[in-house]
Amino acid sequence: MTEKPKWTGWHTLSLFLIFAVIVLLGLLVQSRIWTWLGALILLIVFAAVAGHGITGLWRGLLIDERNKMSLSRLQMTLWAIVVLSGFSTATFSNLVTGHANPLSIAIPSELWLLMGISTTSLVGSPLILRTKMGKNPNEKEKKRTFSIKETQGTDASQLDNVGLILVNKGPEDAEVSDLFVGEETGNGAHLDLGKIQMFYFTLILVLAYAVTLGTTLASG
């Protein structure tokens, strides 16, 4: 039996409609803060629809080649949504007011640095994973990790490994907990303090920038 394609005309139409609504918001709504909030929400929906079209899951954009939710993907997605919504709002505001160069928008160098760190993490993580995938795991550690994962409620039959890296057999097995645990056969059942630190660090920075951006747009 042939599996139905996940991406349908509905997904394509939805993405075009979302883009069209963002443009209309920017051109027709006078309040810049409401335009930005609308664009922010619509970009979140855009990301969810695109992810659903590829994986059949609304969280699909955050799932990587391991069929696990990826912290680096979450970081890049958050920054992209906040920055792109702000950039589009400022651009359309300049167009409506007749600015000579509507794309002349100052973006703080600190923001480029933070986005660069997230981009480096997104690009570098797969390279590191591929290196680990070529190494042989310790079988005792692997069995212990699989056993612990099962006691934590994970269906061990849906778990596998490629070298040292734990993987899920399908994207539907991806969980939010993937963001906070180790990636290897030796630590995949335990919290990764580095990931937890990076998660909160990212949330605080994105929230701080979003509040600053919203305040600027509201006062402008």
Give DSSP secondary structure letters for 117-136.
HHHHHHHHHHHHHHHHHTSP
CB 166 within 8 Å of CB 159: yes
Q: Has residue 122 got a pLDDT over 60?
A: yes
- In tens, the pLDDT along 198-215 reads 999 999 999 999 999 999
Question: pLDDT tens digits, residue range 152-176?
Answer: 888 888 899 999 999 999 999 999 9
159, β-bridge pairs: 168
- Rounded CA-CA distance 180/178 in Å is 5
Count of H-run helices and E-run strands, the chain: 6, 2
Dump pLDDT digits (tens) for 12-52.
Answer: 999 999 999 999 999 999 899 999 999 999 999 999 999 99
Higher pLDDT, 199 or 219: 199
For the beta carbon of residue 145, count every other beta carbon within 10 angstroms.
25
71 token code pair: 């912290």
Tokens of 131: 């290196």
Residue 56, classified by CB atoms within 10 Å of its CB into exposed (0-12), middle (13-18) or buried (19+), is middle
> Terminus-to-terminus CA distance in the chain, angstroms?
58
Model-level pTM?
Answer: 0.86
Q: How far apart are CA 36 and CA 85, in angstroms?
A: 6
Q: Phi then psi for 138, rounded to 5 degrees?
A: -80, 120
Whether the pLDDT of residue 83 is over 60: the answer is yes
| Residue 145: DSSP 8-state | H
Kindly tell me if the per-residue pLDDT of 71 is higher than 90. yes
What pLDDT is attached to residue 19?
A: 97
Q: Give the per-residue pLDDT at 1.
A: 42
d(CA 160, CA 94) in angstroms, rounded, equals 52
What residues form DSSP beta bridges with 184?
165
Quote the mean pLDDT of the chain: 90
Residue 216, H or E segment: helix 193-219
What's the chain's length in residues?
220
- What number is the average pLDDT over the span 130-153? 91
Residue closest to 16 by CA, chosen among 52, 62, 50:
50
Closest-CA residue to 119 (of 107, 111, 130, 131): 111
pLDDT of residue 220: 65
